[in-house]
Amino acid sequence: MGTPPWRINEVLERAQNGPICLEKDFDLKLLVPELRRIIKEYDISFDPKSPVPSDNNLADSLWKAAMDLYLEVGTLCTDTHRRILFTEDEMKEALGNFPGKFTLGFGRDSKEISSRQIEDPRKPFCLFSPDITCDEDLFVPMSMAYLQEPLADGVCAPILDEVEGMPIRSGFPSEVKGSVAHAMMFREAARRVGRPGIFLKSVGTAESDAAQIAASNSEWGERLTDGRFVASVTELKVNNSLLNKMVHFHTYGCFVGALTGPLLGGYSGGPEGTAIVGVAYHLQGLVVNQAHFMNYFPIHLKHTCNTMRELLWVISTTYQALCRNSNLVSMSNGFTAAGPCTPMVLREAATHGLVSVVSGANLWEIAVAKNLHKNYATPLEARMAAEVGCGAATKKISREDANDLSLTLLKTYEQNIENAPLGKTFRECYDVRRCKPSVEYLDLYKKTRKELEDLGVPFVY
């Protein structure tokens, strides 16, 4: 498997013995002032006319700015009030030893995920995910619906908020019960669609470290070939529970992902600061979260999505900076404003897939309806993003062409971001027994795809 981890004991020791810093001081006296200084020093500037910039100097400046920020600020452990700091030589060592590719899953269903280049003609790794909670009786059919999608190289399951009639509460026995059920049912769903070895990303139901540990079992639960997440606390923070997960995942031996989502409109400020923090999160993901891959979802604090032009610019510049200066593996996670069975959600998904892949990202698709509404997700939104993203790669779409297309697509939905249609639930969009989309939604998909093709949007087939 290769590296990471990078010197786990060093990270744990610094989380206990690093420089003392209160969380409020970290945010307001360290992160925000340093970010303002660095934006000015490196002359990072958002251009609303270029959601997909073609400026290599901008990408390189963003990388240098993020490295400068992270070496100065580091990561705060909120439980110990200690800063975890690294030297430039240590960062070079960790980056230099990162292999840049891994084989996820096992057997005939295994797939390689790797770092990508800007305008890379290789197909991106596509992970399909509903990214929402669902009713317990929908868990297996919804998972099967995603697992049977041909472009899905891996799948993340929906999240349970109740199990066998009991509400799941973090830190309570019901969370362990629900997390074990999640892992068992997800394995069942993969086997039922004939893809038993596919890469499974779990367990979203398990918020606490105890529940994650409970689901680690190669016989019935999370296998060594599956993936788990060590998230971050906004911005650039971790806590003991997250570090517990990191240690357990590595000693267990599975793949580890870093879950990172800087907030535009929060301590990161505008697009410029959000992009810098986004790259810095990837550095933290390597040396603190100790991740093999990143899930990256910069998001708007007010609108809770990332398909508007400011966030598309953040996504594009972040990945261009990473591609030109590292071989880190990262998946771009889309968040749409609109919900299922609406033309708007399909246009948003297409735009996110296009911008991400041309800029050098792998795909994690897609949280819809602002990631707020139970049962509001279907595989068709992820399919649209993946078909366009893979099409952009195989048809060698340039940054300039992707920028023109994204501007055209933004005109079709940007004005509706604040009042986006909620759409319909999974039950309304799919035949639950057969795990098949409804005629209504499939017809809408085909119609919207034809409209996008007429605009010049690429599709893989």
> Mind listing the pLDDT tens digit for each residue in 94-109?
999 999 999 999 999 9
Express each pLDDT in 326-380 by its tens digit: 999 999 999 999 999 999 999 999 999 999 999 999 999 999 999 999 999 999 9
Alpha helices in 42-172 (DSSP H): 56-73, 88-96, 139-147
- Chain Cα centroid distance, residue 423: 23
What's the token pair of residue 122?
């290789």
pLDDT score recorded for residue 285? 98
Distance CA 349, CA 387 (A): 10
Whole-model pTM: value is 0.97
The per-residue pLDDT string of the chain (461 residues; one tens digit each, 9 = 90 and over) reads 467 888 999 999 999 999 999 999 999 999 999 999 999 999 999 999 999 999 999 999 999 999 999 999 999 999 999 999 999 999 999 999 999 999 999 999 999 999 999 999 999 999 999 999 999 999 999 999 999 999 999 999 999 999 999 999 999 999 999 999 999 999 999 999 999 999 999 899 999 999 999 999 999 999 999 999 999 999 999 999 999 999 999 999 999 999 999 999 999 999 999 999 999 999 999 999 999 999 999 999 999 999 999 999 999 999 999 999 999 999 999 999 999 999 999 999 999 999 999 999 999 999 999 999 999 999 999 999 999 999 999 999 999 999 999 999 999 999 999 999 999 999 999 999 999 999 999 999 999 999 999 999 999 99
- Chain Cα centroid distance, residue 151: 17
Distance CA 369, CA 363 (A): 18
pLDDT score recorded for residue 2? 60
Express each pLDDT in 242-255 by its tens digit: 999 999 999 999 99
pLDDT score recorded for residue 292? 97
Distance CA 350, CA 241 (A): 36
What's the token pair of residue 403?
């920028």
Alpha helices in 268-398 (DSSP H): 271-287, 309-325, 343-358, 379-394
pLDDT score recorded for residue 251? 96
Q: In the chain, where are the structural domains located?
A: 101-455
Residue pair 328/70 in contact by the 8 Å Cβ criterion = no
- The class that CATH gives domain 101-455 is alpha beta
